[in-house]
């Protein structure tokens, strides 16, 4: 059923990484990404791989789940590798028709390809171990300083969490409206692209109306429950750093320092 | 002075034309004066558009009066300084269970109110636990609201209010979108909170059966208080109630009918047990002989409502349906169902929510394909490769729940034309069909060029039904066509459908939660439970299985319970009394 769909790709498991404060994980992901870009050699990437493998083992998320995250960006990776293969000037190894593959091209293609793969694997690690709600919470807290310069951080976070709640409901509703219009003989499958787009109108308008109706209801319900923005609001489970979170920060700092030092040598 | 008082409350909507110019006012609430004492349970009744919801929104300052005053715990709702104190003291539960839950986890949603009030974290945790326990939902605190039933969601909404430590809960038709089980659990919950925690309750509804336990009932009409009193006082004025577009429990109606025939039953009977007591207390001369004696012990059990030799119009053969097969979310919605529907029948499908009724009817017109088994229309398998399923959908018309949510065109007429247009008919023919269908459901010609959004709830729904009728279906399937309507709207829709069945000769398949309606209209009933077809038969036979129906979370019409209460039977009778008319003729000794 559509209501059962989960947004994102959270993989529930009782692991240390899952228990970490979402802020740590967000910062950690950023540190990891920065480290990937600080290196420009395979040896450097190996250091990042070591870090990633450590986190992966701790997280107890099966590796094949994480690999699945590569699927949607596969084309992008292949294109990156191919462009580097063919378009890097240097010592020619193979030549056919107008293409030539150079030694430098092979190296660059392999390097950029690996970096991209590591980048995606690392960031999906975050979504596998953090629920969307935790992520929203973490982002809200991390971005809090921005609210001093007038960025509506709380409001954006509230919108995100409401979206998370209503996406499955609206998906289900879309399905229902589609079926109802099909029951009136609507045809969404045949014709060219313009006809198909036009066939969407009987779905789109009721859906829009329903979204507005729900938004109106929800706004009223929120007001009735004394919602008045982020000011003076408390939380039942405020994010609180535990010892493990501080330790994780220490490890992250060590990793970053190590990366910066190693960068000179490799 | 009471906890909530209104003095001559008036609220006017300003009506504007397309250019935003003022064209007049509409008084939604017109001079209402109330006084609600602490700890009372007040029921507010009224048909849709009687002003009861608008009045309710004044009681926690979601609206402020145009005239008169509203005091909540002594605070004037127009005083902005007290706004949050007022909303905290008088919490509000709304109609749509989905649209008032904010968080993706039950406990986070209950915490939303106290969080807004700036309550410290540990205190919130304590309140959330207490409130969830009070509504009996503590064991679901880590669940997603999407996995709860409508009744459970409404209990979460009540818990969300309780966590703000209110004095009073205002409930704006909280049961209108629920099934009978959900209605019962919500009502029991608030009655318990009222008794045990001393919470004042203002319950707005159009279900008369929900007000019998209230301390006082207020009936609204045209923005004014039309009647006021104890439930007994209100229910003894039955004709007035019916005039106001409301109905009464069958026990009340039956008593009043019998009184009209000279049987001296007291006025204002509210419930089955009161009826039983009153009837038993009658002098022996007025009590009827056991009418079950006149029912033959065995009646011929047919397999359909009509002649068996006729070929079935629609047929399901060992049909199964599984959602998301071979995944963690696998759900067997329909299991091995075989049934036949013959031309001209009025078939009802009953079963509690989640018993597979909705899935079943979607298979009847090929919207869902059975995982196994066959669906036959006029003897042809509709999932054969060459079969034209799009044409089938116009022959087997399906009206979904809340069908008005699918209206999308700029005018009523154009929306109804959508079906015929998809059938590839000429413009004149489309128009002719649409006009015919609109007349059939009783939409006046002056509304044909209005936007469907401007119509009332009941009218919108009839337009949506016309949208299916315009395709000239041979079978009309309706999934709870009365859901969310007030009693008058319910009666109107059902009598239209019954008329269409009689006059246009359309076979009707109706999914319903109201056993009274099923008893009144069906000539064949299928009972479903957990995806299986439990049994089927004529309504009078089906409802004689009282125990069996109760076991699967269903009931029987009130009159059937009354008749069995008066005349307990050792053995299940072959047939039962299922309508008020049945009971009246059984209980009135012939002279």
Q: Are the beta carbons of B2 and B89 closer than 8 angstroms? A: no
Query: Cβ of B103 and A4 within 8 Å?
Result: no
Any idea which of A14-28, A95-109, B184-198, B550-564 has the lowest mean pLDDT? Answer: A95-109
Q: Chain A contacts of B103, Cβ < 8 Å? A: 133, 161, 165
Q: Given CB atoms, is B108 within the 8 Å cutoff of chain A?
A: yes
Write out residues 67-86 of B within 8 Å (CB-CB) of A. 84
pLDDT > 90 in chain A, percent: 42
Lowest mean pLDDT among B73-87, B286-300, B405-419, B560-574: B286-300
For residue B589, give the H/E element and its range.
none
| β-pair partners for B171 | B93, B203
Plot region of B541 (φ>0 → left; ψ -120 to 50 → alpha; else → beta): alpha
Query: What is the per-residue pLDDT for B146?
Result: 86
Q: What's the rounded Cα separation, in Å, for the pair A165 and A68?
A: 25
Nearest residue on chain B to A177, alpha-carbon basis:
B406
Q: How far is A168 from chain B (nearest CA, A)?
A: 8
Average pLDDT of the residues in B172-177? 92
pLDDT at A86: 81
User: Reduced to 3 states, what is the DSSP secondary structure of residue B154?
Assistant: helix
B128-148 as b/e: b if 16+ CB within 10 A? bebbbebbebbebbebbbbeb
What is the predicted pLDDT for the residue at B590? 59
Across the range B330-342, mean pLDDT stands at: 91
What residues of chain A, 98 to 157, have a C-beta less than 8 Å from chain B? 132-133
CB contact under 8 A, A234 and B115: yes
Alpha carbon distances (Å) from B449 to A208, A217, B403, B412, B417: 22, 28, 19, 6, 12
**pLDDT given at position B302:** 63
Inter-chain Cβ pairs, chain A and chain B, closer than 8 A: 156
| Nearest-neighbour CA in chain A from B91: distance (Å) | 7
Judge if A166 and A218 occupy the same domain: yes
Contacts of B400 in chain A (CB under 8 A): 176, 179-180, 183
Range of the domain at A36: 1-130+240-266
Contact at CB, B116 and A220, closer than 8 angstroms: no
Instruction: Tell me, yes or no, whether A45 and A115 share the same domain.
Output: yes
Cβ-proximal residues to B215 (8 Å cutoff; 6+ apart), any chain: B40, B41, B42, B230
Same domain (yes/no): A126, A255:
yes
Residues A90 and A47 in one domain: yes
Helix (H) or strand (E) holding A171: helix A153-183
- Asked if A169 and B146 come within 8 Å (Cβ–Cβ), the reply is yes
Rounded to a whole number of angstroms, the distance from the CA of B241 to the nearest CA of chain A is: 30
Structure tokens at B52: 């009861």
- Indicate the SS3 state at residue A14: coil
Q: How far is A171 from chain B (nearest CA, A)?
A: 12
Model pLDDT, residue B408: 93
Number of structural domains chain A divides into: 2
Residue B155's closest CA among B124, B129, B189?
B189
Q: What are phi and psi of A186, to 5 degrees?
A: -65, 150
* A50-54, A194-198, B543-547: segment of lowest average pLDDT: A194-198
Instruction: Count Cβ atoms within 10 A of the Cβ of residue B330 and give its class: 0-12 exposed, 13-18 middle, 19 or more buried.
Output: exposed
Q: CB contact, 8 Å: B330 with chain A? A: no
The per-residue pLDDT for A42 is 86
B569 Ramachandran zone, left/alpha/beta (phi>0; psi -120 to 50): beta
Q: Which of B389, B304, B319, B348 is nearest to B478 (CA)?
A: B348
pLDDT at position B278: 94
Contact yes or no for A179 and B362 at CB 8 A: yes
Which residues of chain B have a CB within 8 Å of the CB of A136? none
Euclidean distance between CA atoms A56 and A62, whole angstroms = 8
Asked if B298 has any chain A CB less than 8 Å from its own CB, the reply is no
CB-nearest partner of B367 from A161, A179, A217: A179
Q: A111 and A14 share a domain? A: yes
Q: Is the pLDDT of residue B267 over 90?
A: no
Is the CB of residue A115 less than 8 Å from the CB of residue A36? yes
Out of B99, B121, B471, closest to residue A221 by CB: B99
Quick one: average pLDDT of A59-80? 85
Q: B479 in contact with A at a CB cutoff of 8 Å?
A: no
Which residue in B367, B405, B467, B468 has the most chain A C-beta atoms within 10 A of its own C-beta, making it the best mutation to test that interface?
Answer: B405
Tens of pLDDT, residues B498-543: 999 998 889 999 999 999 999 999 999 999 999 999 999 999 999 9
- pLDDT score for B97: 93
Six token digits for residue B201: 């309750």
Confidence of residue B55 (pLDDT cuts 50, 70, 90): very high
**Looking at the structure, do residues A124 and A221 belong to the same domain, yes or no?**
no
Q: Does A186 sit within 8 Å of B418, measured CB to CB?
A: yes
pLDDT exceeds cutoff 90 at B107: yes
Q: Pick the residue with more confidence: B286 or B400?
A: B400
Q: Among B122-131, B172-181, B286-295, B535-544, where is mean pLDDT lowest? A: B286-295
Q: Across B37-147, where does the E strand assignment appear?
A: 41-45, 67-72, 75-76, 90-93
Q: If you average pLDDT over every residue of chain A, what do you get?
A: 87
Chain A contact present for B124, CB below 8 A? yes
> Are the C-beta atoms of B479 and B400 separated by less than 8 Å?
yes
pLDDT at B303: 58
Residues A141, A119 share a domain: no
Contacts of B96 (CB under 8 A, 6+ apart): A214, A217, B177
CB atoms within 10 A of CB A125: 22
Cβ of residue A3 closer than 8 Å to a chain B Cβ: yes
Q: State the average pLDDT for chain B.
A: 91
Least confident range from B152-161, B414-423, B580-589: namely B580-589
Distance in Å, alpha carbon of A69 to nearest chain B alpha carbon: 19
Under DSSP, is residue A179 helix (H, G, I), strand (E, B) or coil?
Answer: helix
Q: Which of A151, A152, A137, A148 is nearest to A240 (CA)?
A: A137
Residue B234's pLDDT band, with cuts at 50, 70 and 90, is very high
Q: How many CA atoms lie within 13 A of B313 on its CB side?
A: 23
Amino acid B458: pLDDT: 87
- Closest partner CB to A236 (pick from B108, B329, B453): B108
> Taking CB atoms and an 8 Å limit, are B324 and A4 in contact across chains?
yes
Q: Give the pLDDT band of residue B389 (cuts 50, 70, 90).
A: confident
Does the beta carbon of B327 lie under 8 angstroms from any beta carbon of chain A? Answer: no
Determine, for residues B471 and A184 on separate chains, whether the beta-carbon distance falls below 8 Å: yes
- At B203-217, the pLDDT tens digits run 999 888 899 999 999
Q: Which pLDDT does position B128 carry in this prediction?
A: 96
Residues A122 and A250 in one domain: yes
Distance from CA of A54 to the nearest CA of B (A): 29
Q: Which two tokens stand for residue A142?
A: 């991390």
Q: A125 and A257: one domain?
A: yes
CA atoms of B470 and B451, how far apart (whole Å): 18
Does residue A214 sit in the same domain as residue A136? yes
Best CA proximity match to B444, nearest among B466, B428, B468, B429: B466
The verdict on A86 and A55 lying in the same domain is yes
- Contact: A234, B121; criterion CB under 8 Å: yes
Q: Which of B87, B102, B107 sits opposite A226 (nearest CB)?
A: B87
Relative to beta strand B331-341, strand B4-16 is unpaired
Inter-chain CB proximity A161 and B104 less than 8 Å: yes
Cα separation, B19 vs B551, whole angstroms: 59
Instruction: Check whether B299 has a pLDDT greater than 80.
Output: no
pTM: 0.87
CA dihedral B67, B68, B74, B78 (to 10 degrees): 10
Best to test chain A binding among B64, B85, B90, B102 (most A CBs inside 10 Å): B102
A193 touching B, CB under 8 A? no
Whether the pLDDT of residue A1 is over 50: the answer is no
At residue B305 the predicted structure's pLDDT band, cuts being 50, 70 and 90, is low
A4 shares contact with chain B (CB less than 8 Å): yes
Instruction: Determine contact: B118 vs chain A, CB below 8 A.
Output: yes
Sign of the torsion angle spanned by Cα atoms B325, B326, B331, B337: positive
User: What mean pLDDT comes out for the span A217-235?
Assistant: 91
Residue pair B311/B368 in contact (Cβ under 8 Å)? The answer is no
Residue B421 near residue B430 (C-beta atoms within 8 A): yes
Residues A12 and A37 in one domain: yes
């Amino acid at each position: 059923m559509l209501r059962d769909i989960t947004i994102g790709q959270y993989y529930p498991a009782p692991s240390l990484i899952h228990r970490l404060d979402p802020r740590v994980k967000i910062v950690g992901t950023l540190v990891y990404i920065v480290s990937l870009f600080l290196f420009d050699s395979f040896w450097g990437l190996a250091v990042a791989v070591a870090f990633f493998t450590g986190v992966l083992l701790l997280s107890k998320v099966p590796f094949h789940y994480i690999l699945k995250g590569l699927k949607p960006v596969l084309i992008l990776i292949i294109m990156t590798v191919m462009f580097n293969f063919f378009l890097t000037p240097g010592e020619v190894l193979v030549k056919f028709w107008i293409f030539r593959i150079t030694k430098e091209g092979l190296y660059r293609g392999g390097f950029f390809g690996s970096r991209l793969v590591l980048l995606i694997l690392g960031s999906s690690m975050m979504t596998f171990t953090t629920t969307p709600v935790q992520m929203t919470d973490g982002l809200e807290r991390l971005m809090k300083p921005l609210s001093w310069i007038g960025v509506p951080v709380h409001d954006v976070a509230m919108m995100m969490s409401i979206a998370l709640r209503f996406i499955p409901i609206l998906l289900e509703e879309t399905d229902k409206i589609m079926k109802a219009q099909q029951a009136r003989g609507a045809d969404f499958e045949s014709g060219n692209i313009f006809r198909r787009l036009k066939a969407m109108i009987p779905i789109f308008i009721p859906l829009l109306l329903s979204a507005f109706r729900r938004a109106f209801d929800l706004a009223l319900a929120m007001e009735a429950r004394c919602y008045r923005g982020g000011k003076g609001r408390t939380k039942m489970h405020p994010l609180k750093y535990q010892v493990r979170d501080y330790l994780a920060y220490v490890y992250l700092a060590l990793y970053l320092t190590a990366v910066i030092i190693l960068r000179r040598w490799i | 002075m009471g906890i909530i008082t209104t003095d001559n409350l008036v609220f006017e909507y300003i009506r504007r034309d397309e250019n935003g110019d003022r064209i007049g006012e509409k008084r939604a609430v017109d001079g209402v004066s109330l006084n609600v004492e602490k700890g009372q349970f007040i029921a507010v009744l009224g048909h849709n558009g009687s002003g009861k919801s608008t009045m309710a929104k004044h009681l926690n300052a979601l609206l402020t009066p145009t005239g008169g005053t509203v005091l909540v715990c002594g605070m004037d709702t127009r005083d902005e300084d007290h706004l949050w104190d007022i909303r905290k003291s008088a919490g509000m539960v709304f109609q749509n269970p989905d649209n008032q839950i904010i968080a993706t986890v039950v406990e986070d949603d209950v915490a939303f109110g106290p969080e807004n009030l700036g309550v410290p974290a540990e205190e919130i945790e304590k309140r959330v636990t207490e409130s969830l326990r009070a509504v009996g939902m503590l064991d679901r605190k880590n669940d997603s609201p999407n996995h709860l039933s409508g009744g459970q969601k409404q209990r979460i909404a009540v818990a969300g209010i309780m966590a703000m430590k209110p004095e009073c809960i205002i409930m704006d038709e909280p049961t209108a979108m629920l099934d009978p089980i959900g209605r019962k659990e919500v009502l029991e919950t608030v009655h318990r909170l009222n008794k045990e925690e001393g919470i004042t309750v203002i319950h707005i509804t159009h279900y008369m059966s929900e007000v019998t336990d209230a301390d006082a009932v207020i009936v609204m009409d045209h923005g004014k208080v039309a009647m006021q009193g104890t439930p007994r006082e209100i229910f003894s004025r039955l004709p007035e109630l019916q005039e106001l577009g409301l109905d009464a429990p069958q026990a009340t109606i039956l008593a009043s009918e019998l009184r009209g025939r000279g049987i001296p039953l007291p006025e204002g009977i509210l419930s089955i047990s009161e009826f039983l007591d009153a009837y038993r207390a009658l002098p022996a001369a007025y009590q009827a002989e056991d009418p079950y004696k006149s029912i033959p012990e065995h009646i011929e059990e047919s397999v359909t409502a009509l002649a068996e030799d006729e070929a079935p119009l629609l047929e399901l053969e060992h049909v199964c349906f599984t959602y998301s097969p071979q995944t963690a979310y696998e759900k067997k919605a329909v299991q091995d169902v075989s049934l036949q529907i013959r031309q001209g029948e009025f078939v009802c499908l009953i079963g509690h929510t989640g018993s597979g009724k909705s899935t079943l009817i979607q298979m009847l017109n090929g919207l869902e394909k059975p995982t196994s088994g066959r669906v036959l229309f006029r003897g042809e398998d509709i999932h054969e490769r060459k079969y034209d399923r799009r044409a089938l959908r116009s022959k087997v018309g399906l009206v979904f729940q809340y069908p008005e949510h699918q209206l999308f065109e700029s005018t009523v007429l154009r929306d109804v034309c959508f079906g015929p247009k998809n059938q590839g008919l000429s413009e004149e023919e489309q128009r002719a069909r649409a006009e015919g269908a609109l007349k059939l459901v009783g939409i006046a010609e002056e509304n044909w060029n209005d936007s469907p959004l401007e119509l009332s709830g009941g009218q919108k729904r009839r337009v949506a039904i016309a949208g299916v009728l315009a395709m000239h279906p041979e079978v009309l399937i309706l999934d709870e066509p009365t859901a969310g309507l007030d009693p008058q709207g319910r009666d109107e829709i059902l009598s239209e459908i019954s008329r269409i069945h009689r006059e246009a000769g359309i076979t009707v398949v109706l999914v319903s939660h109201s056993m009274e309606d099923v008893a009144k209209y069906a000539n064949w009933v299928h009972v479903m439970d957990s995806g299986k077809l439990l049994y089927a038969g004529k309504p009078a036979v089906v409802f004689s299985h009282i125990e069996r129906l109760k076991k699967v979370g269903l009931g029987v019409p009130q009159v059937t319970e009354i008749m069995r209460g008066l005349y307990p039977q050792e053995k299940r009778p072959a047939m039962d009394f299922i309508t008020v008319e049945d009971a009246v003729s059984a209980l009135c000794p012939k002279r």
